[in-house]
């Protein structure tokens, strides 16, 4: 039974990944900040008993080490860095704290910690679990907001965090190739979630089904690249 570990699995895209992998017969290690409040995950566990729920705040690196320790000796085929934060939304809420002239540097640091540094910490903490697996995949949910065609001004914290995440996944590929681990970054499209908002054109299920197909098809030759949920290679 292949194993996937998902961060931020309690809602949005992470929850849909958990649902689809669990219903496809995978062992799902679903992690979230507040397991007690993760009602949808517990409901999913009722029909998919192989699903496990583990506490993990990816901004708290000690909890990452603690979880890696508790899971020591358990192979993880796909380590899926999904948890992410957008930061203040000028377009929706008029909050300009990631806009030029009113940048909040504390918020920028928080966004970089969750979206960029945490995936690096996850890679360092879980490298042995992934290397011990059959599929050996380390992936991250990024965004085309972090690619050059979207350098349209504004949204600095989120855009720079995802551009740097794309570089991290590409830069880790040669580091991890000797262990047989492949890496990738993905854009799910613009999806109706709390982050994507109600105006988003896409629902989560087809995007996550597409992303699972792209993850299934990852090979060493494709390692380090940035992909759309459709399987199209993306520039960044
Ligand atoms: N939706 C889109 O249109 C879209 C487009 C491109 C990329 N993405 C990316 O896709 C990923 C998932 O986004 P989404 O749309 O599902 O967003 P969402 O609905 O806002 O969900 C975000 C998830 O991340 C978790 N999270 C945030 N900070 C965390 C932390 N410190 N530790 C652990 N978990 C944390 C949240 O947990 P809590 O419930 O505890 O807050 C939640 O489970 C993100 O990386 C996002 O940047 C989304």
The CA dihedral of 19, 23, 26, 29, to the nearest 10 degrees, is 30
| pLDDT for position 17 | 98
- At 30, is the secondary structure helix, strand, or coil? strand
Q: Report yes or no: 215 and 139 within 8 Å, Cβ to Cβ.
A: yes
Distance CA 80, CA 218 (A): 13
Going from the Cα of 63 to the center of ligand 1, the distance in angstroms, rounded, reads: 18
Going from the Cα of 124 to the center of ligand 1, the distance in angstroms, rounded, reads: 21
Going from the Cα of 31 to the center of ligand 1, the distance in angstroms, rounded, reads: 12
Position in ligand 1 atom list of the atom nearest CA 144: 6
Distance CA 167, CA 66 (A): 27
- Is the C-beta atom of 30 inside 6 A of ligand 1? no
Residue whose Cα lies nearest atom 7 of ligand 1: it is 143
Q: Name the active-site residue from 26, 108, 158, 186.
A: 158
Residue whose Cα lies nearest atom 6 of ligand 1: it is 143
Q: Which DSSP state fits 202? A: B
* pTM, to two decimals: 0.98
Structure tokens, 67: 């979880």
Q: Which whole-number Å values give the CA distances from 53 to 9, 80, 194, 198, in the listed order?
A: 9, 15, 21, 28
Beta strands at 137-141 and 78-81: parallel, antiparallel or unpaired: parallel
Q: Which of 212, 88, 102, 210 is nearest to 155 (CA)?
A: 88
Distance CA 32, CA 53 (A): 8
| pLDDT for position 146 | 96
pLDDT in tens, the chain (236 residues): 999 999 999 999 999 999 999 999 999 999 999 999 999 999 999 999 999 999 999 999 999 999 999 999 999 999 999 999 999 999 889 999 999 999 999 999 999 999 999 999 999 999 999 999 999 999 999 999 999 999 999 999 999 999 999 999 999 999 999 999 999 999 999 999 999 999 999 999 999 999 999 999 999 999 999 999 999 999 88
| pLDDT for position 235 | 87
Q: Which fold has domain 3-228?
A: Rossmann fold (3.40.50)
Q: Where are the domains of the chain?
A: 3-228
| pLDDT for position 236 | 83
Residues 6+ apart with CB under 8 A from 194: 11, 12
The runs of H, that is alpha helices, within 59-203 are: 61-70, 90-93, 105-112, 118-131, 156-176
Q: Report yes or no: 190 and 202 within 8 Å, Cβ to Cβ.
A: yes
Best probe residue, ligand 1, of 83, 98, 116 (max atoms within 8 Å of C-beta): 83
| pLDDT for position 184 | 98
Q: Is 105 in the active site?
A: no
| pLDDT for position 47 | 94
Distance CA 157, CA 127 (A): 28
Residue whose Cα lies nearest atom 42 of ligand 1: it is 8
Q: Which whole-number Å values give the CA distances from 180 to 69, 77, 137, in the listed order?
A: 22, 12, 9
């Amino acid at each position: 039974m292949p194993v996937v570990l998902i961060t931020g699995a309690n809602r949005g895209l992470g929850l849909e990944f958990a649902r689809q992998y669990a219903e496809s017969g995978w062992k799902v290690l679903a992690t979230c900040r507040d397991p007690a409040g993760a009602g949808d995950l517990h409901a999913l566990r009722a029909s998919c008993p192989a699903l496990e729920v583990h506490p993990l705040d990816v901004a708290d690196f000690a909890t990452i080490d603690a979880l890696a320790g508790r899971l020591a000796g358990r192979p993880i085929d796909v380590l899926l860095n999904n948890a992410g934060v957008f930061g203040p939304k000028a377009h929706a809420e008029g909050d300009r704290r990631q806009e030029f002239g009113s940048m909040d540097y504390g918020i920028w640091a928080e966004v970089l910690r969750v979206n960029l540094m945490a995936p690096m910490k996850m890679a360092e903490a879980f490298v042995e679990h992934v290397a011990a697996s059959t599929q050996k995949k380390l992936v991250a949910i990024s965004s085309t907001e972090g690619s050059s065609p979207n350098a349209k001004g504004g949204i600095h914290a989120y855009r720079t965090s995802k551009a740097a995440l794309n570089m991290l996944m590409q830069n880790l590929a040669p580091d991890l190739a000797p262990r047989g681990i492949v890496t990738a970054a993905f854009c799910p499209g613009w999806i109706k979630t709390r982050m994507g908002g109600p105006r988003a054109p896409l629902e989560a299920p087809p995007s996550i089904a597409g992303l699972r197909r792209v993850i299934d098809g990852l090979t060493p030759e494709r390692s380090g690249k940035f992909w759309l949920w459709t399987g199209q290679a993306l520039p960044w």
